[in-house]
Amino acid sequence: MIKLVVFDLDNVLIDTETIDEIAKIKGIEEEISDITLQAMQGKIPFETSIRQRVKKLEGISTSDIDEAMDKISLNPGAVETATELKKQGYKIAIITGSFDVIALKVKELINADYAFYNTLEVDDGKLTGEVSGPLITQNKVDVLRQLVDEIGITLDECATIGDGANDLEMIKNAKIGIAYNAKPILKENADVQINEKDLRKVLDIMADEEKITKEEVVEETTQEPETITTEEEVKETEEVNEEEVVENDETEEETIDYSILNFQQLLQCKRTLESELTDLKNVRDKMNEETKAFRKERDELNQKLKDTLKIALDKRNTRDEINKEVHENKELRNQCNEELKKVEWNSGKKEISNIQAEINKIDKTIQTKVLDIRKENELVKRVSDLTKQLKKIQSDEEEEKTATQLKEKSELYHQKVVELSDKAQAVHEEMIEYFNKIDGIREEADGKHQDFINSRNAATAKHEEVKAKLSEIRKVNKFMDQAKSQSRGRKSEDKADNDLKEKEEAEEIFQKFKDGKKLTTDEFLLLQKYDIM
């Protein structure tokens, strides 16, 4: 089970090579990059490359370095991944050949538990061109070994993420080695590859590893011989008193005292346990298949949810773009209308309208009221004067033409406003339809996820039963070994007793032979066996 996750820094947690960024201050980034590339490809030793590169940085001020480091950004998902890993109980370490000027900042940003890095030597606020630290003379895997020893775990409880040749041994020796947008030499030796700039993929890998660990089948014990092959074991079997093996009660499991059973009884117990183990494993495997099916369905629903959400958001963006066009056309239409009002006012139409209104008013007064001759003459004269004035007013033809054009433009813009508004409304309704679908898909996905959790828990519980049954089989094997050992001991003692009796019998035969008794062939062979003659 993984307990520690180790990250390289440059091009893994951050999206650059730190030393290249420092080199830019002095304008020697190309010189530095060439040496860096050779080191990453494994063409020159890391210690040689780091000392060569740092030497070229001599004289750069620490204030300029701090300013450059503040501009460096983390790779996508770095903080989110570290936060989630720590929430799940993993320890996080940074092991890098990079430098203190950035490693300490990143350690704080992702809240790492440990950080190992090199230190740029400084004198009077400027780099001396010298470097020190644990990653100068040691390989990263050596530092990792020291760390796991210190915290009391093993390399088989580590996952490591790197991108270059100096990560190679660390990647190869950890339980899980992850190549993150890595050089070919690292990809060839890694367990898993991430070929996109998204550290959240590490969470997927860790989730898969946890699942594999939970579902891993406990290694079965070596099968003991189930048949008795030697003559002594056959004899022992014939002499065994057949006793009924204690069986498990269906409602309450009883503990069997294997120490009181003989070899044949233990063998029968083992066969029973192995049969039960097979049944348990079949049930567990079926549960695991169901769990995988639920997970697949859940993932498909989640993907459908993402796809539907993307369509809905695309619809919203399209609607907003159309509404933007609506607003632009409204503005243009309103501008035309404002210009049209000015043209109509300046063309004399307003004055013509006023004169005509006054003439109509005087005519009405003359027709409806009783007036003296003097007053009536005055009004008639006023109408005559206004009529003459009206005839003299002529509209400007150019302004009339301009007004006509403005009217046409205004109508076109208004037509676009109407058409685009209808189109925006249609897209808006489609967007609402997709957003409504999302709720149903999310509910279905949540239900399938709960099915997955329940099925996984049931499969895990059944796997624990498998492990317990295997443990019981190992226990029986142990007692079977002891029974065999005891049986061999008894046979050895019986053989010694038989040999003693035969020797005494041979001595008696020899005494009788000396007294003149004739020997049979068997008696003669017995005397030869004990070298009495």
Q: What is the DSSP string of 337-403?
A: HHHHHHHHHHTTHHHHHHHHHHHHHHHHHHHHS---HHHHHHHHHHHHHHHHHHHH----HHHHHHH
410 Cβ contact list (under 8 Å, min separation 6)? 333, 336, 337, 340
> What pLDDT does 56 receive?
93
> What pLDDT does 533 receive?
59
Q: What angle do CA 150, 39, 76 make, to 5 degrees?
A: 70
What residues are annotated to the active site? 8, 10
> What pLDDT does 240 receive?
38
Which H or E run contains 173?
helix 168-173
Which H or E run contains 265?
helix 263-346
Of residues 247, 242, 245, the one with CA closest to residue 266:
245
Rg (CA), the chain: 49
Q: What is the pTM of this model?
A: 0.44
| CA 258 to chain CA mean position, Å | 48
Residue 41 has a CB neighbour count (10 Å cut-off) of 13
What is d(CA 402, CA 418) in angstroms, rounded to the nearest whole number?
24
| CA 398 to chain CA mean position, Å | 72
> What pLDDT does 128 receive?
95
pLDDT one digit per residue (tens) for the chain, 533 residues: 899 999 999 999 999 989 989 999 999 988 888 887 777 666 787 788 889 999 999 999 999 999 999 999 999 999 999 999 999 999 999 999 999 999 999 999 999 999 999 999 999 999 999 999 998 888 899 999 999 989 989 898 999 999 988 899 999 999 999 999 998 889 888 889 999 999 999 999 998 777 666 655 343 333 343 333 334 443 443 343 333 333 343 434 557 888 888 888 888 888 898 889 889 989 988 998 998 899 899 889 989 988 998 898 999 899 999 999 989 998 998 898 888 877 765 555 667 778 888 888 888 887 787 777 788 788 888 888 888 877 766 555 566 777 788 888 888 989 998 999 899 899 999 989 988 898 889 888 889 889 988 988 898 898 889 888 888 888 888 888 787 777 666 666 666 667 777 777 777 777 777 777 777 777 767 767 766 65
> What pLDDT does 249 receive?
39
| CA 51 to chain CA mean position, Å | 36
Residue pair 222/209 in contact (Cβ under 8 Å)? The answer is: no
Of residues 112, 166, 174, the one with CA closest to residue 148:
174
> What pLDDT does 394 receive?
52
Residue pair 148/157 in contact (Cβ under 8 Å)? The answer is: yes
- Please report, for residues 79, 83, 110, 112, the alpha-carbon distance to residue 92 in angstroms, rounded to integers and kept in the order given: 12, 10, 9, 5
Give the residues across from 510 on adjacent strands: none
Q: Region of 217 please: left (phi>0), alpha (psi -120 to 50) or beta.
A: beta
Pairing of strands 158-162, 192-194: unpaired
Pairing of strands 126-132, 158-162: unpaired
> What pLDDT does 250 receive?
41
> What pLDDT does 215 receive?
56
Strand order across the beta sheet in which 158-162 lies: 126-132, 114-123, 91-99, 4-7, 158-162, 176-180, 192-194
What is d(CA 295, CA 224) in angstroms, rounded to the nearest whole number?
39
Residue pair 186/178 in contact (Cβ under 8 Å)? The answer is: no
Residue 195 φ then ψ, to 5°: -115, 30
Q: At CB < 8 A and 24+ separation, what contacts does 520-526 make?
A: 526/502
> What pLDDT does 520 receive?
76
For residue 207, give both structure tokens: 């989730």
347 Cβ contact list (under 8 Å, min separation 6)? 395, 396, 399, 400, 403
